[in-house]
Structure 1
Amino acid sequence: MKKVLIIGAARSGLAIARLLRKEGFEVILTDIKPLKIDVKEDLIARGIEVVDGGHPDSLIRDDYTWVIKNPGISHKSSFIEKLSKKTFIYNEIEIALRFAPGYQVGAITGTNGKTTVTTLLGEILAAGNTPSFTGGNIGLPISEIVEKNGDMDALVACEIAAFQLIGTENFKPRCAVIMNLSPDHLDVFTDLEEYYQAKTHIFKNMDQKDVFLVNLDDPQIVKRSENLKCRTLTFSYDQVCDCYVKNGIVWLYDEPLFELSDLQILGRHNTVNAMVAGAMAYVMGIDRNTIRKVISLFKGVEHRIEFVREYHGVKYYNDSKGTNTDATIIALKSFDTPVILLAGGYDKHTGFEDLRPYLHKVSKMIVFGATKHQLKLLYPQAIVVETLNEAVLLASQISQSSDTVLFSPACASYDQFDNYEQRGRIFKNLVNNLE
């Protein structure tokens, strides 16, 4: 019997374990923490061997068909480094899609914009006539989609992060995009070049049947997109190309795709997000009328410049997904007047100097978390607190009617929270409980 080792019992790890067991593999699932009793019992009942509470060296062997790692586990950990000397370590997306050759995948990566584009593309695909799914790095793991639905002719909007792309070997999307490239995750990758190289894995297997969307406004992407084996579709906010903006209209192959007045999501970055989602949907067979209709109804994604509440004339926005400086810059540029900025969190070692040219967009800054002192050096007038709770309370006290409070941390969440979603929900609860 073919044997697989799955490292990490988060949602995607559990899903790929169930899928491969169903496909007749001998499955070993290991997690650094003890599993909940009911989860462990369910896995054992399915015939899955569970090794929890640590990763013993006895698991480091070279006789596995596949070794699959949860993307949340660092590829620099000692166990992973030892194992990688014996065998290639896959991501679950790569393996799951081998059991669903009928899935046409639209794959989205990049430093920022991934989630908005994936969500919007998923909604457009769902409005078409072919079965469709949305998942990957957001929502459902691809392995869970395959486990529950099996193989079929289907369209898939798939967000895929750098951590996942380094675990791909034969991943071949029908169409794909790298939205943008800017410094991020330098706490995990050796340097910026290693991070950027990981992103380019998205197109390494694409051929003339496939289409890669090239962002002409990002020099790093243009440089890395030369001499591709696949077809390309260029897009730009500023230049006339395959998909561009002119006279308040987004054009695709010189025919209107949608009008800027159709959009409910604000900002230049969201225009680009809608352009890309629309162009990818068109490549995947969705007609222009359906694309325009869905784009006009789209209200954005949770935790991305999300309006929360107006209280005593002060508007509060949740941008917890702003986990790097580029995302926070985009958020700041979305407002016409200076904001009270709440920032800080886990240190990804990317620095904050990129924010300096945009500090004129900040009237006051409240900083907290592991990076609070670094942000204080950047903006000496910043008020230092310890927690998000204190930051929200203080913002409510120092703000005046017509002010805007923007929570855009420019940092990951792991110093005080499980993830950016939890952090964003807590922020919204704090704001909604102000009285």
Structure 2
Amino acid sequence: MREFKEFKSFINGKNVAVVGIGVSNIPLINFLVKLGAEVTAFDMKEENELGKIASEFKSKGVKLELGKGYLEKLTGFEVVFKTPSMRIDCEALVRAKNEGAYITSEMEEFVKYCKGKIYGVTGSDGKTTTTTIISKLLEAQGYKTWVGGNIGTPLFSNIEEINADDMVVLELSSFQLMTMDSPIDVAIVTNLAPNHLDMHKDMQEYIDAKKNIFLYQNEDNVLVLNRENEITYGFEKEAKGHVREFSSKRVITNGSYYKDGTLYLEGKEVCKKNDIVIKGMHNVENYLAAFIATKDDVEIETMKKVAETFAGVEHRCELVREIDGVKYYNDSIASSPTRTLAGLFAFEKKVILIAGGYDKHIPFEPLAEQGYPFIKEIILMGDTRYLIKEAFDKLKDEKGIEVPSIMVNSLEEAVIKAKEIAKEGDIITLSPACASFDMFPNFAVRGNKFKEIVNNI
């Protein structure tokens, strides 16, 4: 692992651009200024939209390039920190690179210089819960644990506080991994299915981005894979480190597995499925991944205790309220059909489903074909409402299976309609199978709005 003084020496006095004035880049900009860099911050927002942060940056000598056409000024820089969702092949970055700029990101530099042991978690579904479970296991075992990446806090500005015996758990998206080229101590891939096909050229590019979590590992590192996911299982032949498997369907004596209501780690019982607080087979898989990943650092007794006490992460099958015998669940994190299916399976009875949102160009046929036995009625909203309806209409035409559907124009209207049709004992769940960007800035804002509407009933 490289010494951070190397980076400090490199960045001091450099002409640095930071693209995006968002959650992860605000502490980054402040940190770069502290390290002596000449910083220019770029964002599509105008100064009045940025508010106080714009004036704070200007008072520290940070130059601002804002508004429409902001990337046209991305020229003449020695170092460029890109925002995670920015494609490396976009015109502005290609131009900067051709000029000789070093293109990087907050997460790439963090992984390169972090002294602590890094657990990196990626996948299409289950990333956040698995990341959180791993952090809870390590904390319960007594380690100082830092959580970052897609969740937690941006960690690069804290890098000098992280010691060699600390544990670091990172949730890593395909966008963060596209340009990652540093080894990660323990890499976990929960599963892979079509996702983010609005941002990636195709499914293969998405898979290739995910592979970077392990392609730069060495023989001392660990790769944890889902034995039951065809794509992740195929990664084994490319692994450079020790491969560990988990399975919810078969016994893996040297891995973690589920059998007859019990979770096992290398043949030893950890806990019973019915004693895990967060329900559903997808959460059994999340625990199995976490158990086999942390087995060198966490005792089985600690694993059992966490599984039987951890109440879950906000916006993931979160019980909001029960009204007149009807339970309302917030599963706003479900931004893909596979994640929505996992939530549906967890309830083990038919539910009233609120779905729809931003179009990531993912097919909805699997939601209809696998989800219909668990859906009493579906309420559709957002940009994708007609696409989802098409998938359920196709199910009716081809197999004669009809799921009643209602089209609405807003989340408020969806909740009102769901309340009207619900009877005592019913479950209503917001589990959109889509991203939120057509109506909300992110899934958390969508989930909080749903909770506000439900709590105001």
Q: Residue 257 of structure 1 aligns with which residue?
A: 270
Counterpart check, 1:376 vs 2:389: yes
Q: Residue 412 of structure 2 aligns with which residue?
A: 389
1:15 pairs, out of 15, 27, 35, with: 27
1:24-423 to structure 2, matched below 5 A, reads: 24-35=36-47, 36-53=50-67, 54-61=69-76, 64=78, 66-73=79-86, 75=88, 77-83=90-96, 89-100=103-114, 102-146=115-159, 149=161, 151-170=163-182, 172-241=183-252, 242-283=255-296, 285-357=297-369, 358-380=371-393, 381-423=404-446
Q: Deviations over 1:165-194 (max 9, x none)?
A: 113222x22101111110011111000000
Q: SS of the residue aligned with 1:126?
A: helix
Q: Is the 8 A contact 1:307 1:318 kept in 2?
A: yes
**Alignment partners' CA distance in 2, 1:128 and 1:110:** 25
For 1:225, the aligned partner's letter is: E
Q: State which drifts further: 52-61 or 173-182.
A: 52-61
CA distance 1:50–1:365, change in 2 (3 Å): same
For 1:402, the aligned partner's letter is: G
**Alignment partners' CA distance in 1, 2:261 and 2:83:** 43
Q: Is the 8 A contact 2:117 2:164 kept in 1?
A: no
**Alignment partners' CA distance in 2, 1:84 and 1:321:** 35
2:452 pairs, out of 423, 429, 434, with: 429
For 2:207, the aligned partner's letter is: Y
CA distance 1:56–1:205, change in 2 (3 Å): closer
Q: CA deviation at 1:280?
A: 2.1
CA distance 1:40–1:113, change in 2 (3 Å): same
Q: Is the 8 A contact 1:207 1:231 kept in 2?
A: no
Q: CA deviation at 1:306?
A: 1.2
Q: CA deviation at 1:94?
A: 1.3
**Alignment partners' CA distance in 1, 2:328 and 2:51:** 41
Q: CA deviation at 1:307?
A: 1.2
Q: Deviations over 1:47-72 (max 9, x none)?
A: 433323352434234x52x3211124
Q: Is the 8 A contact 2:359 2:435 kept in 1?
A: yes
**Alignment partners' CA distance in 1, 2:163 and 2:15:** 22
Q: Deviations over 1:337-361 (max 9, x none)?
A: 2111111100111121111222132
Q: CA deviation at 1:286?
A: 2.1
Q: SS of the residue aligned with 2:17?
A: strand
**Alignment partners' CA distance in 2, 1:259 and 1:289:** 13
Q: CA deviation at 1:75?
A: 5.0
**Alignment partners' CA distance in 2, 1:335 and 1:428:** 19
TM-score (normalizing by structure 2): 0.88
Q: SS of the residue aligned with 2:212?
A: helix
Q: Percent identity?
A: 33
TM-score (normalizing by structure 1): 0.93
**Alignment partners' CA distance in 1, 2:356 and 2:201:** 23
CA distance 1:417–1:227, change in 2 (3 Å): closer
Report the number of matched residues.
428
Q: SS of the residue aligned with 1:379?
A: helix
**Alignment partners' CA distance in 2, 1:367 and 1:421:** 19
For 1:378, the aligned partner's letter is: A
Q: SS of the residue aligned with 1:203?
A: coil
**Alignment partners' CA distance in 2, 1:44 and 1:97:** 29
**Structure 1, unaligned stretches of length 5 or more?**
none
Cα RMSD (Å): 2.0
Q: CA deviation at 1:254?
A: 2.4
CA distance 1:127–1:344, change in 2 (3 Å): same
Q: CA deviation at 1:142?
A: 2.3
Q: Is the 8 A contact 2:42 2:71 kept in 1?
A: no
For 1:251, the aligned partner's letter is: Y
For 1:179, the aligned partner's letter is: T
Q: Is the 8 A contact 1:238 1:244 kept in 2?
A: yes
Q: Deviations over 1:127-168 (max 9, x none)?
A: 233321111101212224437x35553101110100111132
CA distance 1:99–1:336, change in 2 (3 Å): closer
For 1:404, the aligned partner's letter is: I
Q: SS of the residue aligned with 1:355?
A: helix
Q: SS of the residue aligned with 1:176?
A: strand
For 1:186, the aligned partner's letter is: L
Q: Is the 8 A contact 1:16 1:96 kept in 2?
A: no
Q: CA deviation at 1:37?
A: 4.3
Q: State which drifts further: 12-21 or 305-314.
A: 12-21
Q: SS of the residue aligned with 1:394?
A: helix
**Structure 2, unaligned stretches of length 5 or more?**
1-12, 394-403
Q: SS of the residue aligned with 1:427?
A: helix
